[in-house]
Each structure stands twice: as structure tokens, then as C-alpha cells.
Amino acid sequence: MISVFKVRRFGCEACGAHRDHLSWDYDPVPVCCDQPMSEGSTARQTVQIITDDVPGGFTVHNGFKQPTTFYSKSEHRRALSANGMKLAEKGECGF
């Protein structure tokens, strides 16, 4: 099972307080009024983590002397920069 890191809404049954808490599935439940808070709706938002690595890599056939495989986007940008090139910005090439 994959653990999810997201904003969860907790409520205290004793005093009626509500708290939004950013946590993993396995994190302990917050405490209020010396008792665990109950979890309410969790469908509000999740945190997305975008990584730089590319599992398996990608091969670029244009711009280099021979096809070159890269395993991260930053590695590709560094190689382009070393050869005096860069990725086209939106609108630069008529896109």
C-alpha cells in the first residue's frame, strides 16, 4: 500500500474545535482536550511531489553528435548548456 501525505481535517468532540493537519496516513492523530481528535473529510487537497529523475531515462537524437540517454531533466539541461543550447520557451519558436 502506498502512503499518502495530505491535508486532513480533524475535529474535537469535546470542545468542537477543528484543525487541518498535514500528515501521512501512519502519523498519530492530533490530541485536543486530552483525547484524540476524530478525522473528518480528507478530500480537500493532496501534496504533489514532482521529481527531476526519469526512471529508465530518455534518449535525445537531436542536438548531440550521437544519441544520448539522460536520467534526469537537469542532466539534459546541463548538457544542452555545455553545447550552447537551451530548451525552447513557450512562444519562442511559434508554439
Q: What amino acid is encoded at 92 in this protein? A: E
Is the pLDDT higher at 95 or at 80? 80
Name the DSSP letter for residue 67: -
CB 60 within 8 A of CB 76: yes
Distance of alpha carbon 3 from alpha carbon 5, whole angstroms:
7
27-73 pLDDT, tens digit each: 888 888 888 888 875 445 556 677 888 889 999 998 889 999 999 99
Q: What is the pTM of this model?
A: 0.47
